[in-house]
Amino acid sequence: MEAPPDNDVLWARSLHFSHRDGSPGLAGISLGVRQGEILAVSGPRGSGKTTLLRCLSGLEPVRCGEVWFNSSPVHTLGPMARERLRRDRFGWIDPEPFLVPELNVWENAALPLMLRGAGRRRAKVAALEWLERLDVGEKARSRPRDLQHAERQRVAIARALAHGPTVLFADEPTAPLHRADRAHVLRTLTAAARSHGITVVLATHDAETAALADRTVALLDGRRVHTVHLPDSPDTEGRAACSLSA
Amino acid sequence: MLALRLTRAARPAVQLRRLLVAAASAGTGFLLLSCLAHALGHPEAASASAQRLAWCAVPLAATVYLALAVARTDPGTRPRPGLSAVGLGPARLMAVSALTTALSCTLGSLLALLVFLHLRGDLTGMPFDGAAAGMLASDRSLPLPAALTLLAVLPATATTAVALALRPRDPVPPPRTVRGFGRFGAYGGSPRKETFGAAGRFRGGAAQPKAPAPADPRPTGGRAAGTTVADGDAPAPGTGADPEPPAPAPAPDTEVEPPSGLPWGVALVTAGLAVQAYAGRTAPAPALAVLLGWLLTATGLVLAAPGLTHLCGRLLQSTRPGALRLLAGRVLMAEAARIGRPLGVVCAVASAGYATTALYDGTGPAPASGPLSALGVLVVAGSTLATLLTAAVEARQCRAETVAALLRLGAPAGMLRGAAVLRAAALLALFGPLTLGIAALSALPLR
């Protein structure tokens, strides 16, 4: 078994995945994520971005193919070990900010640190620091329901960053936002990741978002493609038949 | 038809809950029919029969409560985006839910009728034919309309209650109060805020509250009317903590509103205990006063329980909690209303049962002991317990998304389970002694 290159923090080889109902997910994806880079995984909806991220982060068991993290295999780990790996080394941002509604904002952001056994004071300081940096520091004591959507998403980013993960997986973190909020969220995310040397794997179907990344991996139908050649959109086909001018 | 299809295709746990409703409804129906039989057998003792019928209100209420809780947790009648698109909106789903409830209750009532006829000896061919023929007045013919009317009471009540409880309502925007300003200001002025560097931003925001408004794309007119008054007033330096003036929401209240019934509940419990103590002064205590006292105590317990649950959660998450206690306590605080009310009912029933056994323990068997009262106790206790468990299931369903997100973060599943166990243990530690204490106090003057 060949060891991955030294500067690749995360590395996948010929990753195949099919969903539980048998529908195809990934078909032989190989990629390497370098230390400290921001890698965009782009592609249209349904191209397997989320599945790839879930496989890389150990949310889904990998049965066919290999995933290596820091020169140790992830695909051979059991569910408990993968859970510990996620808790200690990975961060995850959902498309929707799923915050715990009962906790206030800073407690939400401090939760991963507390889950790792950090003291309450230390967790709070780190969480407040990140909330400040992401411009939601004023709302640190309010409940998630009192915040706007973009603010909640920034809190979710703070929660993912607060425990200093090695790799941050962001699955379409800006999909439900307007463009102003989207740019703000992305800028804060990328700036924070770069300043702390956090590797980011960013799934997006948006070319503008992908432009912020160091490198882009394009997916199409569960395969990695280098140049996307989609068939021309059938914009004229059938239009004459439906035309009312007849 | 759709209700039947949805009912048939549900998972075993859901079917089990519906069967519980049917069983409770069967028990209640049998009790009602027994009252009819008693009235048939003893035409001279009309008041005693009426009293029996009145006692049936307790299992009836417990069963309706259970049916309501089960209908709330029913996944088949939850709003689903796909069904809403084909025209099965909240109103139709409410109808489906009510139909499902009617179905299980009617099933139980029919079962009760069959068992009743069987025990009377009208239906033969199975063991225990006419086993209770004497008690159930088998020498007289059963008036069928009366029996059917009695049996229809429960399905009708339960269906109406479910339809009323689940009727579609538009979400009401929560009333924005300006009270939060003062409290948040009290927090915001504390030196702890200044340690993480928010002080400059806060002061700046207070000094020129209108400055960032033009840069913000949102119109400032979108604010709630109640907050513009407070914003127009020049805020005092201590209360100038509105962090973002154009925000549509006022400075947030950090605390969840605790349920408000606690003082009323405590007052009612003490009043009930006082009434019982007063009734216990004369040697044969007047039954009406004792009943009134127990009723007051039970109502007070039900009213006070959400507040006590909230208090329990608050104690659990106090003094520098870690992740476990934080999750356990805050969830308990948030679910206080949902969990607390059935818990209060269970406590009231348990304390009444404990007091009754304590009362009649020394002086021989209880005057009303018999198979029918045992069935009544079983129905009431089982229904209330099942309601509590169903409420717990409902709370769990509501939190399923959050739990999934926590698991994606890598929260250990064992810790989430530990939080649930901790919640249950805390509730038991608070409500167990409380129930025993109230039962002992209410039994004390009647000995």
The predicted-structure confidence for A133-142, as pLDDT tens digits, reads as follows 888 889 888 9
* B243 close to A (CB below 8 A): yes
Q: Is residue A73 domain-resident?
A: yes
For residue B382, what pLDDT band results from cuts at 50, 70 and 90?
very high
Q: Is the pLDDT of residue B187 over 70?
A: no
Q: Is the pLDDT of residue B136 over 80?
A: no
Domain range for A205: 8-227
Q: Is the pLDDT of residue B132 over 80?
A: no
Longest dimension (CA), chain B: 91
CATH number at residue A65: 3.40.50.300
With an 8 Å Cβ cutoff, are A112 and B409 in contact?
yes
Q: Is residue A246 domain-resident?
A: no
For residue A237, what pLDDT band results from cuts at 50, 70 and 90?
low
With an 8 Å Cβ cutoff, are B409 and A138 in contact?
no
- The last residue of a domain, from among B131, B165, B199: B165
A26 C-beta neighbours (distance < 10 Å), count: 27
For residue B370, what pLDDT band results from cuts at 50, 70 and 90?
confident
- Residue B77 to residue B92: CA distance in whole angstroms: 9
Q: Is residue A106 domain-resident?
A: yes
A146-192: per-residue pLDDT in tens? 898 888 988 998 888 888 889 999 988 888 788 888 888 888 888 88
Q: Which residues of B touch A59 (CB under 8 A)?
A: 408
Q: Average pLDDT for residues B321-348, to the nearest whole number?
A: 89
Quote the pLDDT of residue B207. 38
- Residue B218 to residue B237: CA distance in whole angstroms: 26
Q: Is residue A111 domain-resident?
A: yes
- Residue B69 to residue B17: CA distance in whole angstroms: 10
* Helical H segments across B280-364, by residue range: 287-316, 323-334, 336-362
With an 8 Å Cβ cutoff, are A83 and B413 in contact?
yes
B232-252: per-residue pLDDT in tens? 333 333 333 344 334 344 444
Q: Is residue B105 domain-resident?
A: yes
The number of folded domains in chain A is 1
- Residue A221 to residue B7: CA distance in whole angstroms: 38
Per DSSP, which regions of A35-156 are E strands? 38-42, 64-69, 72-73, 90-93
The distance of A92 to chain B (nearest Cα, Å) reads 6
The number of folded domains in chain B is 2
- Residue B164 to residue B166: CA distance in whole angstroms: 6
Q: Which residues of A touch B408 (CB under 8 A)?
A: 59, 86, 92, 94, 98
Q: Is residue A240 domain-resident?
A: no
Q: Is residue B243 domain-resident?
A: no
Using an 8 Å Cβ cutoff, are B336 and B307 in contact?
A: yes
Q: Is residue B112 domain-resident?
A: yes
Whether residues B139 and B278 fall in one domain: no
Q: Which residues of A touch B171 (CB under 8 A)?
A: none
- The last residue of a domain, from among B165, B194, B223: B165
The distance of B164 to chain A (nearest Cα, Å) reads 28
Q: Is residue A80 domain-resident?
A: yes
**Average pLDDT value for chain B:** 76
- Residue B269 to residue B305: CA distance in whole angstroms: 11
For chain B, what percent of residues have pLDDT higher than 90? Answer: 30
To test the contact with chain A by mutation, choose from B192, B196, B257 the residue with the greatest count of A C-beta atoms within 10 A, namely: B196
Domain range for B302: 262-446
With an 8 Å Cβ cutoff, are B249 and A83 in contact?
no
With an 8 Å Cβ cutoff, are A83 and B412 in contact?
yes
Cα nearest neighbour of A163 on chain B: B409
Q: Is residue B220 domain-resident?
A: no
DSSP code at position B320:
S
Quote the pLDDT of residue A212. 85
* A86 close to B (CB below 8 A): yes
Quote the pLDDT of residue B384. 93
B266-309: per-residue pLDDT in tens? 999 999 989 888 887 776 767 788 888 888 999 999 999 999 99
Cα nearest neighbour of A111 on chain B: B323
* A112 close to B (CB below 8 A): yes
* A125 close to B (CB below 8 A): yes
Q: Is residue A204 domain-resident?
A: yes
The distance of B433 to chain A (nearest Cα, Å) reads 28
- The last residue of a domain, from among B165, B187, B219: B165
Q: Is the pLDDT of residue A242 over 80?
A: no
Using an 8 Å Cβ cutoff, are A4 and A197 in contact?
A: no
Quote the pLDDT of residue B182. 40
